[in-house]
A and B are shown apart, each in its own frame.
Chain A
Amino acid sequence: MSSKTFKALEPYLLVTPQTIVFLLFLVFPILMIAIVSFWQFNGYAMIPAFTLDNYLSIFTSKVSLQTYLNTFKYVILVWFFCLAIAFPVSYFLAFYIQNQTLQIILFLICTVPFWTSNIIRMISWIPLLGKEGLVNQLLLGLHVVNQPVEWFLYSDFAVVLGMVHLYNFFMIAPIFNSLMRIDRTLITAAQDMGASGWQVLKEVILPLAAPGIAIGSIFVVTLVMGEFVTVRLMGGGQSASIGKLIQTQIGSLQYPLAAANAVILLIVTLILVIGILRIVNIRKEL
Chain B
Amino acid sequence: MNSSVSTSPPGIRDSQPSTTASIQQELASHTVGVSLRSVTKKYGSFTAVENISLDIPAGSYTCLLGPSGCGKTTTLRMIAGHEEITSGDLYIGDRRVNDLPPAKRNTSMMFQSYALFPHKTVCENVDFGLKMKNLPKEERTRRVNEMLEIVGLTKFADRKPNKLSGGQQQRAALARALVTRPQVLLLDEPLSALDENLRVRTRSELRRLQKEFGMTFIQVTHGQDEAFALSDRIVVMDHGRIDQIGTPDEIFATPASRFVARFVGDNNLFVGKVTNVAADHTHHTQQMIRLEVDRLGTFLCHGQAADIGMMAACCVRSDCMQMLPYPPVDPTVPNQLTARVVAIEFTGYITRVSLLAEATGEEITYKVRSHDWHLNLAEEGQLITLTWTPENCIFLPH
Contact = CB atoms under 8 A, between A and B. Distances in A.
Dominant SS among interface residues on chain B: loop
Interface string B64-89: 00000000000000001110000000
A193 B132 contact: yes
A183 B132 contact: no
B116 to A, nearest CB: 8
Given A188-B82, A208-B118, A193 B113 contact: no
A27 interface: no
A188 B114 CA distance: 11
B109 A192 contact: yes
A199 B101 CA distance: 15
Given A185-B111, A203-B128, A191 B117 contact: no
Given A193-B103, A194-B103, A188 B115 contact: yes
B128 A190 contact: yes
Q: Is the interface of A mostly helix, strand, loop or mixed?
A: helix
B245 to A, nearest CB: 26
B163 to A, nearest CB: 13
A88 interface: no
Given A199-B132, A203-B128, A191 B102 contact: yes
Nearest to A199: B132
B242 to A, nearest CB: 25
A199 B132 CA distance: 8
A6 B395 CA distance: 75
Nearest to B108: A192
Contacts of A192: 80-82, 102-103, 107-109
B133 interface: yes
A183 B80 contact: no
Contacts of A195: 103, 128, 132
Contact of B119 (A193, A194, A208): A208
Contact of A204 (B107, B117, B176, B180): B117
A62 to B, nearest CB: 45
B129 interface: yes
Contacts, number: 56
Given A192-B108, A193-B128, A195-B132, A185 B103 contact: no
A191 to B, nearest CB: 6
Given A191-B82, A192-B109, A185 B128 contact: no
A190 B102 CA distance: 10
Contacts of B102: 191-192, 194
A271 B200 CA distance: 54
Nearest to A195: B132
A268 interface: no
Contacts of A189: 109, 111, 115, 117
Interface string A179-215: 0000101101111111110010001100110000000
B133 A194 contact: yes
A186 B115 contact: yes
A97 B109 CA distance: 26
Nearest to B102: A192
Nearest to B118: A208
Contact of A191 (B103, B118, B180): B103
Interface in A30-53: none
Residue among A192, A193, A196 with most chain B CB within 10 A: A192
Nearest to A189: B115
B115 A193 contact: no
Contacts of A203: 117, 128
Given A185-B111, A188-B111, A193 B82 contact: no
Nearest to B111: A185
A204 B117 CA distance: 7
B129 A194 contact: yes
Nearest to B103: A194
Contacts of B82: 188, 191-192
Interface string B98-141: 00011100011101110101110000000011001100000000
Given A191-B103, A192-B80, A194-B103, A185 B115 contact: yes
Nearest to B119: A207
Contacts of B80: 192
Nearest to A182: B118
A196 B112 CA distance: 22
A189 to B, nearest CB: 4
A189 B111 CA distance: 8
Nearest to A281: B119
A196 B101 CA distance: 10
Contacts of A208: 118-119
A95 to B, nearest CB: 16
Contacts of B117: 186, 189-190, 203-204
B119 A183 contact: no
B176 to A, nearest CB: 8
A186 B176 CA distance: 13
A207 B119 CA distance: 7
Contacts of B109: 188-189, 192
A211 to B, nearest CB: 10
A183 B80 CA distance: 19
Contacts of B132: 190, 193-196, 199
Contacts of A204: 117
Contacts of B118: 186, 208
Interface of A: 183, 185-186, 188-196, 199, 203-204, 207-208
Interface of B: 80-82, 101-103, 107-109, 111-113, 115, 117-119, 128-129, 132-133, 176, 180
4 closest Cβ contacts across the A-B interface?
A194-B103, A193-B129, A189-B115, A194-B132
11 contacts: A185-B111, A185-B112, A186-B115, A188-B109, A189-B111, A191-B103, A192-B81, A192-B102, A193-B108, A193-B176, A208-B119
Given A186-B117, A192-B80, A195-B128, 12 more contacts: A185-B112, A185-B115, A186-B115, A188-B109, A188-B115, A190-B132, A193-B128, A194-B132, A195-B132, A199-B132, A203-B128, A204-B117
